[in-house]
Amino acid sequence: MPQHSPDPTPPAAGAHVPLLRNYVGGQWIETETRFDDINPVDGSVVAQVCEAGQAVVDHAVAAAKTAMAGAWGRTTAEARAQALRRIADGIERRFDAFVAAEIADTGKDAAHARTIDIPRAIANFRAFADQVATAHGDCFESTTPDGLGALNYTINKPLGVVGIISPWNLPLLLLTWKVAPALACGNAVIAKPSEETPYSATLLAEVIDEIGLPPGTFNLVHGFGPNSAGGFLSTHDGVDAITFTGASATGTAIMRAAAQTVKPISFELGGKNASLIFADADFEEAVTGTLRSAFSNCGQVCLCTERVYVERPIFEKFVQALRQRTEQIRIGSPYEQGVTMGPLISAEHRAKVLSYFDLAVAEGARVVTGGNVPTFGDERDRGYFVAPTIWTGLSDNARCMQEEIFGPVCHITPFDTEEDAVKAANGTRYGLATALWTSNLKRAHRLAPRMETGIVWVNTWFLRDLRTPFGGVKLSGVGREGGRHSLAFYSEPTNICIKL
C-alpha cells in the first residue's frame, strides 16, 4: 500500500452537503424521495440520499440483464480479472476520499478505516482477480460400452443478475467482499448498501463508472428494506440470486422472499460469539485479544465476542485486567489523537444497546465497568456514544447471554472443565465464530472441531486469509464465501459430455 496524504478533515458544520444518487445502467439517477445520511458523531447531516423506488429497481434489473446479454456477458475470465484490478487501483487512487466517506458515515476511528476498511476493500478486488484468473473446471475420461469412451468436462457460467444487500458496520469492506467475486464470475450486480452508510458505496460506483465497465454491469440503488429498495430487490423475479449480510431476522425475511422463485442465496448473519480462555493461555495475549474482540468498531462486528468464558483459577485476575484495559479506551471523534472507539451507528441502535444495559441489571448482572453514556460537553453529546461495558454474574439462559446486542459489551463467566466450556460456548442459536486461548496444542486441536461455529481462532482473533471459507451455522448464516467458495456460489457449473 503506498503512502497517502494526512487524514482529511470532515466538512464544517452547516456546509453544503452532497447529493448521493443511484447509479443504474451507467447513468446517475436522481429521485424526488430523499433521506438524510447522518454522522453518528454529532448527529449532523453528511449527505442527502436519493431513495430508489420500484421503478428504479426495475430499471436496474433491466439494465443488468442487458449487460448480461451484451458485452459483459461475453467477457473472458482474464478480462474480468483485469477489470477488478482496475477497480482496486481506482479505490487506491482515491484512498483518502474513501477513508473520509467511511468515517463520516460510521464515526469509526481514522486508524481503523485507514488500516482495515479501505485496504481490505482494495484487497478483495485483487484477491478475487487472482482467484478467477487461475480457476479451472473438472475433466474426466469415461468408459463407454463400445469402448471408445467419452470426455466429461465442466464449465462455470455466471448466475446472471445478483442482488447484493450489505450492512452498515464495515460498509465498503463487506460490500466489496460480495461485489468482487460476483463480477469476477461474470455476473451483473445490483448493490443496495445500508441506508445508514451509503457514501463509500457511491464512491465505488464512481470508480466503476470511471474505469468504463459496460453499462448495467454494476448498479447501485439506495434505500431501506421493506417497501423500499431492499424489499423490491429481494422480491424481484428478474434477480437470479441474492447475497446478504446483516441481522438474522432480515435474512429470514429475504429467504422467505427468495423461496418464491427458488433462487440461490448466501447469508452471513448475526453472532453471539464466545471466547474460551484457559489458565495455561498467555495471559497478556488473551487480555489484549479479548479487548479487541469485544470492543473493536464499538462492538459492531458480527465476529465480536460478547460471551467470555475464563477458567476459574484465573477468572478474577482476568476480570480485573480486562476492566483496567477497558477503562483506558479513549472514546471520541474519529480524528482526535488517541481515540480508538467512536459512536454506535444511530440513535435507534444506541437505544437498542442501552435497553440491554438496563435488561442486564434487571437480570442480575454485576456491572464491572461501563453501562452508561459518556458526556463530553460539546457537539459530541448529540452523537450516539456508549461506554464499553463488562458484566459478570448472568446465567447462560439470560436474554443478554442469548440475544445479539451488537455493541461494546461482553459478559465474563468462570468455568471449571473443558466440557463445561464447550457446552456453554455452543449453548446458543448462533454459530459464527469462537476464539480459543490456550498454550496446550492438544487441547486446541481437540476442542476446535467441537465448536459449533463456522470459524475457530486459536490464540488470535479477526485473522483472515481471503482464500478460506467464511460463514456461520444455525442463525449465523447459510453458505460460505471466500476464495473458491465464493466462486462456487456466484457461478453455475455445467457438465459437458462428449462421446468419442
Q: Where are the domains of the chain?
A: 19-269+476-499, 273-465
- Which residue is catalytic, options 268, 311, 404, 481? 268
Among 185, 298, 302, 304, the active-site one is: 302
CA distance 15 to 17: 6
Residues 6+ apart with CB under 8 A from 320: none
CB atoms within 10 A of CB 30: 10
Cβ–Cβ < 8 Å for 386, 396: no
How far is the first Cα of the chain from the last one, in angstroms, to the nearest whole number? Answer: 52
Provide the grid cell at 125: 478486488
SS3 of residue 220 by DSSP: strand
Amino acid (one-letter) located at 460: T
Task: Look at the block and give the residue holding cell 479479548.
Answer: 290
Question: Domain 273-465 in CATH: superfamily?
Answer: Aldehyde Dehydrogenase; Chain A, domain 2 (3.40.309.10)
Nearest alpha-carbon partner for 341 in 298, 304, 293, 379:
298
Q: How far apart are CA 178 and CA 96, in angstroms?
A: 22
The CA-based angle 380-383-387, given to 5 degrees, is 85
Rounded Cα–Cα distance for residues 408 and 296 (Å): 8
Q: How far is CA 250 from the centre of its chain?
A: 14
Q: CA 445 to CA 447: how far, in whole Å?
A: 6
Is 302 part of the annotated catalytic residue set?
yes
- What are the residue ranges in the chain where pLDDT is below 70? 1-15
SS3 344: coil
- Residue 494 · residue 155 · CB < 8 Å: yes
CATH topology of domain 19-269+476-499: Aldehyde Dehydrogenase; Chain A, domain 1 (3.40.605)
Q: In this structure, are strands 241-245 and 265-268 parallel, antiparallel, or unpaired?
A: parallel
The SS3 of residue 357 is: helix
CA atoms within 13 A on the CB side of 426: 14
Q: What is the largest CA-CA distance in the chain?
A: 87
Tens digit of pLDDT for each residue in 159-213? Answer: 999 999 999 999 999 999 999 999 999 999 999 999 999 999 999 999 999 999 9
C-alpha–C-alpha distance, residues 102 and 121, integer Å: 12
pTM for the complete prediction? 0.95
Q: Would you call 451 exposed, middle or buried from its count of C-beta atoms within 10 A (0-12, 13-18, 19+)?
A: buried
pLDDT at 10: 45
* SS3 call for 243: strand
Decide if 176 contacts 188 (C-beta within 8 A).
no
Q: How far is CA 335 from CA 100, 117, 173, in A?
A: 10, 16, 20
Whose CA is closest to 188, among 67, 271, 107, 58?
Answer: 67
What is the C-alpha separation between 339 and 257, in angstroms, rounded? 42
Q: Is 306 a catalytic residue?
A: no
SS (H, E, C) 418-466: HHHHHHHHHCCCEECEEEEECCCHHHHHHHHHHCCCCEEEECCCCCCCC
Res 15: pLDDT: 61
